[in-house]
Structure 1
């Protein structure tokens, strides 16, 4: 069903997110749930840093429709529980982060790590294994720099593990850089993009709009 109804990609600045991808580490082809730009404020100006595409496995539709069928986009985009069902749902997910301006891997991992720490500590679940996972995550990115058009590829398994890959030209490649088995790291990656304090409200709105159309 998702393949039929999400047959269009999304253009974010100069980045084209295709309607379907088979990301590294995934067992299935995933469909584009939505995409948007990430901005940060630099010297009182909003600067576009990257484009973020969020992809989901087809069975996400049946899982989400059970609760959210009949809801409109305006309602869904403001419902935290809707996005929690995406973040924690029992289906594969994939995030493509494509640089618009030069992006330092060390800065990217620092921001993501801080987000994960904050989530897990707020939940009261942060432990030694989580600290080791964050350390490994930071190690993967410490010597990486992403020029405009290059991408960070993050594949989340049904169990929550995270496969990390990189692409110099924005294409989806099969080369895995690292796999982190911690079941909490994958959902945290999705949450950084479209969670309660996610970095791309535009991607969040796009996900709500496209999924609303498919579910209904």
Structure 2
């Protein structure tokens, strides 16, 4: 099984959870400060090949068109297929910084859709607590696993010298917005990732 590089991080072209999932999107989260690119994380998006069955109306569109259309990414998020996000740390930070970033991005999206209630707040607090005690060394791995049939996600964290830790998020609204943080088109945290996903799916849809 081959692998693809994201910056200097190797990503397997396929992983197997309950079934094989293909690497369809990859990129970086980064910021530019005084013309310097600071890279934080590598991102790999794995999806079931069956995702194509749910994107029929986009057939024949090029990746350059798809990346401009947030409705295309809405359809990816709502497709009832298994999804797996693999985030690899490039720049060391405290886990609490990542947790706060995730919390604020998800909360803003929930508030904008009028879905931010007590249950969502509680679910987000648990996620923040999960990351609070972690330290993101270089090459640490965070994963989000979204099963096809359920509206939950399992978050896992692995760093050198320590065992894997996991938590489950069972609030469907929070789960949806975590997906949108990474797959939300023009508002996604990594524009290189959504561009790569649109290009790859555009290729498959034009076959």
TM-score by length of 1: 0.87
Which residue of structure 2 lines up, in the alignment, with residue 137 of structure 1? 127
Cross-structure match for 1:58: 49
Number of residue pairs aligned between Structure 1 and Structure 2: 202
Show structure 1 runs of 5+ residues with no match: 1-6
Give the direction of change, closer, same or farther, for the CA distance of 1:89–1:178 in structure 2 (3 Å limit).
same
1:137-172: CA deviation from partner (whole Å, max 9, x where unpaired): 111111101111111011112332110112236xxx
CA distance in 1, matches of 2:142, 2:57: 32
State the superposition RMSD in angstroms.
1.9
Which stretches in structure 2 are left out of the alignment for 5+ residues?
A: none
Which residue of 116, 130, 143 corresponds with 1:126? 116
Matching residue within 167, 171, 174 for 1:178: 167
The question of 1:82 aligning with 2:82 is answered: no
- Cα-to-partner distance string for 1:42-61 (whole Å, 9 max, x where unaligned): 46633111101111122211
Aligned counterpart for 1:168 among listed residues 159, 171, 179 = 159
C-alpha separation between the residues in 1 aligned to 2:87 and 2:94? 13
Shift of 1:31: 1.0
2:84 is the counterpart of 1:94: yes
Normalising by structure 2, we get a TM-score of 0.90
Shift of 1:187: 2.2
Structure number with the higher strand fraction is: 2
1:3 aligns with none
CA contact (8 A) 2:21 2:47 kept: yes
2:138 maps to what in 1? 148
Q: Is the alpha carbon distance of 1:20 and 1:199 closer, same or farther for their aligned partners in structure 2, counting shifts above 3 Å? A: same
* 8 Å CA contact 1:12, 1:36 repeated in 2: yes
Quick one: which of 2, 5, 8 aligns to 1:14?
8
